[in-house]
Amino acid sequence: MSWKDLYSEVKQRKMEALNKKDVVKAVEKHGKVLCIDGKFEKPKKVVKNLYAAEKLIIKPGDALKHNLTNYDLVIIGCPGSEIPTAAYGKIRDYVVLNGGWILSTDWAIRSIVENVFPGYIRWNEVRTDDVVVPCQIIDPNHPFLDGLVGELSQSKWQKQTVKGTKKDEFRWWLENKSFPIQVLNHQAVRVLIASWEIKNRWGEAPVLVEFNHGKTGGKIIHMISHTHLQKGGAKGKFASALILTNILDEKVSMKTGIKKGPAPGYYDPAAAQVQQPQYTQPNYNQPPLEDQWVQPPSQSSQYVTPTSSGSGLTGTSQIEEVDPNDSSFSYGSKCEYCGYDFGEVVGKIYRCKECGAVYHENCINLQVNEGVCKKCNRILLW
């Protein structure tokens, strides 16, 4: 099936079976997508077939030339490292000030998400093989996965399912050296799709995640691997196309005030009964206590193990804002929470007054929730 035929089928299913005719028409009339190309992403295969009013693909070096606020969704293709750092503030403002939505892929987690929106997710510093893995739907009721379980349970896709893939699963292609997603903020980040095979082989399960950022409705959506998923099989390609169009549907629906009705009852009850108890969002986002801490590789210089105070009462330390012009501060310093420097930081910088450990603005809030300074183990106080 060609990409054109695939996206035509997705559109047809939404209009005829998923009760989204009004939404599809609204996207066709109002939806606008900007894709920043990446040398490892193949956006033309996908974006040109979206049912949107405007679809523009630009080179990474042209990110500063375009007004991002004109678009409902900005797709940042892997690797993202070719985007000028001068554009980082523009990307952040698009989300924080204008409520923009960003979909980033694979290596862009390191180059864009960690730099522009630190403290939510990061690459776990492990690279995958070139392999196709089965995926589990964690949050089937999320708008981005609207209709996914029911559609994948249709007999058409079951006939084309790779052997060994369960009825309520599909397969996702990981290119050689894809970057597994580590969740830092389990309260803010929602894991929509996961793969226990990725977890077992490379340490982290998330395949597709999303989190809100700012107070204007801004959102970051990130997936391991890429939108084109050539090796994922027909079922995996259909799932990818449905998810991508669902993201755009949801954004345009919010913008235009359209209320989406429930899909008709062809939904497979057997798949639903199996799905819900086995994979639920709380079980992933609130892992057992023993699974919440992962000992980083001993050779890594980006992580600092908390020191013990030895004995006696736990001390306290004041949190103070850092003046970037202070000669004692260097932008090359490493944040004690996420392990990355402050070279492209947009936002305030804080430190522990007692030991001098520095944190990004998002990271200090996360560290305060954990209770103590990551370096000196003192209780942090504002």
CB-based burial, 154-179: b 16+ in 10 Å, e otherwise:
eeebeeebeeebeebbbbbbbbeebb
In tens, the pLDDT along 322-347 reads 888 888 888 888 888 877 778 766 67
Q: What distance in Å separates the CA atoms of residue 154 and residue 226, rounded to the nearest whole number?
A: 25
E-assigned strand segments in 10-129: 32-36, 54-58, 73-76, 101-105, 121-123
For residue 300, is it within any domain? no
Q: Is residue 291 part of a domain?
A: no
CB atoms under 10 Å from CB of 271, counted, come to 18
Look at residue 295 and tell me if it is in a domain: no
Same domain, yes or no, for 179 and 127? yes
**Sites in the chain below the pLDDT cut of 70:** 155, 157-168, 229-232, 259-314, 344-346, 369-370
d(CA 222, CA 209): 5
Instruction: For tokens 């004690």, name the residue.
Output: 336
Contact indicator for 77, 89 with CB cutoff of 8 Å: no
What's the token pair of residue 280?
């639920």
Query: Do 329 and 266 fall into the same domain?
Result: no
The phi and psi torsions of 138 (rounded to 5 degrees) equal -85, -40
pTM greater than 0.85 (yes/no): no
Looking at the structure, do residues 272 and 326 belong to the same domain, yes or no?
no
Same domain? For 60 and 196 the reply is yes
Are residues 255 and 136 part of one domain?
Answer: yes
Per DSSP, which regions of 289-348 are E strands?
316-321
The answer on 244 and 370 residing in a single domain is no
Do 167 and 229 share a structural domain? yes
Within a domain: 343: yes
Of the residues 245, 280, 315, the one at which a domain ends: 280
At 238, which CATH number? Answer: 3.40.50.880
Residue 330: count of CB within 10 angstroms of its CB:
13
Instruction: Tell me, yes or no, whether 358 lies in a domain.
Output: yes
Residues 315 and 271 in one domain: no
Alpha carbons within 13 angstroms on the beta-carbon side of residue 24 total: 18
> CA–CA distance from 46 to each of 21, 74, 228 (Å)?
21, 14, 6
Is 285 a member of any domain?
no
| pLDDT value for 41 | 76
CA proximity to 101, closest of 204, 237, 253:
253
Q: What is the predicted pLDDT for the residue at 171?
A: 84
> Is residue 296 in a domain?
no
The answer on 129 and 28 residing in a single domain is yes
Within-domain flag for 297: no
> Residue 87: helix, strand or coil by DSSP?
helix
Q: Residue 144: which domain range? A: 3-280
Handedness of CA 176, 119, 351, 345 (dihedral sign): positive
Are 257 and 216 in the same domain? yes
Q: How many domains does the chain have?
A: 2
Q: What is the pLDDT of residue 260?
A: 60
Residues 142 and 239 in one domain: yes
Residues 142 and 242 placed together within one structural domain of the fold: yes
Please state, in angstroms and rounded to a whole number, the distance separating the CA atoms of residues 94 and 89.
9
